[in-house]
């Protein structure tokens, strides 16, 4: 019996609602979770099933900023013993008899948090689901979206992800995997712990918001690139956050009536600490996974086992992106505040640049917008014929002109990087400047091409064939996922890729952000190869491997994780079209 007959949540309150069924009227009582900051997202009528236990349950472990090699190495060496238990155990010889470790899954581009998780949890590409990065411009709405701001310091939108603002959920243009599951299985119970995307779940479990705010704010740099203070570089704030996330899950499952059919647990401390740790991202994340994440997962293993909830549960583990060490100084950080930073390239080319803040007045006068993604940056330009005079707002609903606006901006960045005239700090910083002919925002967008010079624009595939980048992987295909489709214009009219993932040492790498110890976002293997582990204590690894390979197929990219979750839950006929309006 999946119902845990322990006491109801201590802080559980009862709300009464009236619903009509057929010819009669029944009084329905729904329970509202009010423990901590957790929120019940939908009501389950009294008397309705508390879950849907006939189909296999799933635990989805979402890790932030953990690349494949790092996690697999630690697991295979036996350095994450509790994590290994979650995966059905590791034998004395180091083998995982009940887990498949996939070696093919690639992050979406840019390899960053807010492009990745919506892709993982909708099964759609960024050009389809509309969330193209940590921050981006929505030209038809004249709105800068910044679930994780990079060009300015403002924690409000990130904190708003977990409040009733549902800041990230509301940016999605397509249904989530949770909505798709519920459509097929209305009684399914789904809890999400601290993850950004949760539309369609029953409950959002929120760790103490002050712990989250502290961890997040202490990672943010101010405009001058300084942290609150060097003493703040301890990993304690991240440890507190991740242990609170596990804590709120244990509280809810201890005192609740059921362990949900689908439980998503998101741990982001590894990424946040990786960005600032002075010992470098690899050493920092290794010790963090061993000393913080593993013991916390141990508590989760114990709780699930106690409830008899581990045996038949599928466990799926993945991450959003990897990490690449950089040098923490103004020379390598392509920021917004220095006189030869990227905004100045646009200013010197005659563009009026949008200020770096979340909101500006509706009639604000700007002709170009920059959005930073670590190793990449998006540049949006207006049709400047609509706003020649200073003070006149541009008509952003119109697509820019290709030659006069798009290529003008591309040429400014190409010459800044090739020659460094006017902005000497930009010299040698850019690997690729990408452009495409603009389309009206409502139409599907064209693929990016490489801007080599005013008379030379080359498709990405042939360009990379002629200029091999051995550290990059599936660039053309993943740029297509990002930029070709209904919302593809949200990846910019010009896309800049800094020398970063193509370079062997930190001193040769540049990144669009304030100075940090580490960043990501590149098409490199290091940033893009993510772990993907599927485990079930009742299944042999070989049969799990066959299932995974069938779902991932020839294009093992992040959007396939949704397909995997649906197939584990619904079996062979999982691939039914979703018919939900977002
Ligand atoms: Zn990060």
Q: What is the pLDDT of residues 384-397, one digit of tens each?
A: 999 999 999 999 99
pLDDT tens for the chain, 582 residues long, are: 222 222 222 222 222 222 222 222 222 222 333 345 688 898 887 888 889 999 999 999 999 999 999 999 999 999 999 999 999 999 988 899 999 999 999 999 999 999 999 999 999 999 999 999 999 999 999 999 999 999 998 888 988 999 889 999 999 999 999 999 999 999 999 999 999 999 999 999 988 767 777 777 777 654 445 555 554 577 888 998 899 889 888 888 776 656 899 999 999 999 999 999 999 999 999 999 999 999 999 999 999 998 888 888 999 999 999 999 999 999 999 999 988 999 999 999 999 999 999 999 999 999 999 999 999 999 999 999 999 999 999 999 999 999 999 999 999 999 999 999 889 999 999 999 999 999 999 999 999 999 999 889 999 999 999 999 999 999 999 999 999 999 999 999 999 999 999 999 999 999 999 999 999 999 999 999 999 999 999 999 999 999 999 999 999 999 999 999 999 999 988 876 555 555
> In this predicted model, what pLDDT tens digit does every residue of 374-387 receive, in sequence order?
999 999 999 999 99
Alpha carbon of 458 to ligand 1 centroid (Å): 31
CA of 497 to the centre of ligand 1 (A): 17
SS3 351: coil
Q: Given this model, what pLDDT does residue 223 score?
A: 44
Q: How much distance in Å is there from the Cα of 486 to the middle of ligand 1?
A: 27
Taking the centre of ligand 1 as the mean of its atom positions, its distance from the CA of residue 374, in whole angstroms, is 9
The pLDDT score that the predictor gives to residue 543 is: 97
- Distance in Å, CA 377 to ligand 1 centroid: 15
Q: Map residue 12 onto helix, strand or coil.
A: coil
Closest C-alpha among 551, 444, 511 to residue 112 = 511
The secondary structure of 392-407 as a DSSP string is PPP-TTSPPPIIIIII
pLDDT of residue 574: 80
As a dihedral over the C-alpha atoms of residue 55, residue 59, residue 62, residue 63, rounded to 10 degrees, the angle is -150
Q: Please state whether the predicted TM-score (pTM) of the whole model is above 0.85.
A: yes
Three-state DSSP at 539 gives coil
Tell me, in angstroms, the distance from the centre of ligand 1 to residue 512's CA.
Answer: 13
pLDDT of residue 18: 23
Residue 312 CA to ligand 1 centre (angstroms): 33
Rounded (10°) angle between helices 294-306 and 236-255: 0
Taking the centre of ligand 1 as the mean of its atom positions, its distance from the CA of residue 268, in whole angstroms, is 9
The rounded distance, in Å, linking the Cα atoms of 369 and 42 is: 38
Instruction: Give the distance (Å) from ligand 1 centre to CA of residue 550.
Output: 31
Q: Which of 506, 512, 499 is nearest to 432 (CA)?
A: 499
């Amino acid at each position: 019996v999946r119902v845990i007959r322990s006491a109801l949540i201590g802080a559980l309150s009862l709300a009464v609602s009236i619903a009509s069924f057929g010819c009669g009227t029944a009084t329905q009582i729904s329970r509202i979770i009010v423990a901590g900051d957790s929120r019940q997202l939908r009501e389950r009528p009294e008397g309705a099933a508390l879950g849907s236990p006939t189909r296999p349950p799933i635990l989805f472990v979402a890790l932030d900023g953990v690349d494949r090699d790092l996690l697999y190495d630690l697991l295979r060496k036996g350095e994450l013993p509790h994590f290994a238990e979650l995966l059905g155990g590791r034998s004395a010889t180091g083998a995982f008899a009940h887990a498949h470790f996939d070696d093919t899954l690639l992050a979406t581009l840019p390899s960053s948090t807010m492009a990745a998780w919506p892709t993982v949890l909708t099964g759609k590409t960024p050009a389809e689901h509309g969330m193209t990065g940590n921050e981006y411009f929505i030209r038809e709405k004249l709105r800068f979206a910044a679930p994780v701001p990079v060009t300015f310091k403002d924690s409000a939108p990130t904190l708003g992800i977990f409040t009733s603002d549902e800041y990230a959920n509301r940016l999605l243009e397509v249904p989530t995997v949770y909505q798709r599951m519920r459509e097929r299985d209305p009684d399914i119970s789904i809890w999400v712990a601290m993850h950004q995307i949760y539309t369609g779940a029953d409950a959002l479990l929120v760790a103490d918001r002050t712990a989250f705010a502290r961890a997040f704010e202490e990672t943010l740099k101010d405009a001058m690139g300084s942290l609150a203070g060097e003493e703040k570089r301890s990993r304690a704030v991240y440890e507190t956050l991740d242990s609170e996330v596990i804590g709120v899950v244990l509280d809810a499952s201890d005192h609740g009536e059921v362990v949900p059919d689908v439980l998503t647990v998101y741990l982001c401390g590894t990424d946040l600490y990786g960005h600032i740790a002075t010992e470098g991202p690899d050493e920092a994340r290794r010790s963090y996974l061993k000393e913080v994440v593993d013991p916390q997962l141990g508590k989760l293993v114990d709780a699930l086992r106690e409830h008899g909830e581990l045996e038949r549960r599928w466990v799926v583990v993945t991450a959003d992106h990897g990490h690449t060490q950089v040098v923490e100084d103004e020379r390598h950080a392509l920021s917004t505040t220095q006189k030869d930073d990227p905004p100045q390239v646009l200013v010197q080319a005659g563009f009026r640049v949008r200020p770096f803040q979340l909101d500006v007045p509706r009639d604000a006068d700007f002709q170009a917008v920059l959005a930073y993604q670590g190793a990449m940056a998006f540049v949006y330009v207006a049709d400047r014929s609509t706003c020649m005079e200073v003070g006149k707002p541009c008509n952003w609903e119109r697509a820019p002109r290709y030659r006069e606006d798009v290529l003008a901006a591309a040429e400014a960045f190409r010459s800044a990087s090739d020659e460094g005239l006017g902005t000497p700090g930009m010299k040698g910083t850019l690997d690729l400047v990408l452009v495409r002919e603009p389309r009206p925002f409502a139409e599907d967008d064209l693929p990016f091409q490489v801007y080599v010079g005013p008379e030379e624009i080359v498709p990405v595939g042939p360009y990379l064939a002629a200029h091999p980048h051995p550290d990059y992987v599936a660039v053309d295909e993943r740029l297509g996922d990002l930029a070709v489709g209904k919302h593809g214009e949200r990846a910019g009219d010009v896309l800049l890729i800094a020398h970063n993932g193509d370079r062997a040492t930190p001193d040769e790498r540049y990144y669009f952000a304030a100075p940090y110890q580490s960043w990501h976002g590149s098409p490199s293997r290091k940033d893009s190869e993510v772990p993907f582990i599927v485990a079930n204590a009742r299944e042999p690894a070989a049969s799990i491997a066959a299932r995974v390979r069938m779902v991932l197929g020839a294009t093992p990219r992040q959007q396939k994780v949704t397909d995997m979750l649906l197939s584990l839950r619904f079996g062979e006929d999982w691939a039914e079209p979703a018919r939900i309006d977002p």
